[in-house]
Chain A
Amino acid sequence: KAGVTQTPRYLIKTRGQQVTLSCSPISGHRSVSWYQQTPGQGLQFLFEYFSETQRNKGNFPGRFSGRQFSNSRSEMNVSTLELGDSALYLCASSPGSTNEKLFFGSGTQLSVL
């Protein structure tokens, strides 16, 4: 099986712009989660989607949003980028039941200048 695929791998944006990141989960996985990794804060939960519905959301401002499509692919969007949004954004998928291990993609490295 192919793993979790995230595109693009690297992204450079300027303050005030918006960005969309994409994630294709492992075939058959219906749950997609997004995490932000920064050197100071570690990995922090953004949100989780299952069957196109957001089931849980982390403590991030409304500038961070996401969605999931009927084929389980997911996108996350960050509007009005700030310097502090520079981070590695990781997508993870799982079949969707509780307490399952997550399978992570390699991430999108976002740099905001």
Chain B
Amino acid sequence: DQQVKQNSPSLSVQEGRISILNCDYTNSMFDYFLWYKKYPAEGPTFLISISSIKDKNEDGRFTVFLNKSAKHLSLHIVPSQPGDSAVYFCAASEGSGGSNYKLTFGKGTLLTVNP
């Protein structure tokens, strides 16, 4: 039972354009959401997060949107750069204040930004 789903295994965009990565979840107990980026042969690195009490969070070129009613979140990267090419993972945690200390990850989306 996959509780966090990233339905697009891959996405290709042109440099300078917007990249939109999507994530759906089924567990209504999830209250904190994160995006991680992973390069080959490296561990995932944290990008941006959002609490369920918000619907948007921005950090530079990265913005995460949360639609709780649709159980959907998305990551927007504007403008996209070749160095953004990586696998992006959506993750979620549940429990009051994230008290179960566990992240549930999607299977990732490979983003390729073409020069």
Contacts and interface: CB of A to CB of B under 8 A. Distances in A.
A98 B34 contact: no
Contact-residue size bin, chain B (C-beta under 8 Å from the other chain): 20 to 34
B32 interface: yes
Contacts, number: 59
B78 to A, nearest CB: 22
Contact of B43 (A41, A48, A98, A107): A107
Nearest to B33: A99
B97 interface: yes
A92 B32 CA distance: 18
A64 interface: no
21 contacts: A42-B89, A43-B91, A43-B103, A43-B105, A50-B101, A56-B101, A90-B43, A90-B44, A92-B43, A98-B97, A98-B98, A98-B99, A99-B32, A99-B49, A99-B98, A100-B98, A101-B34, A101-B46, A102-B103, A104-B43, A106-B43
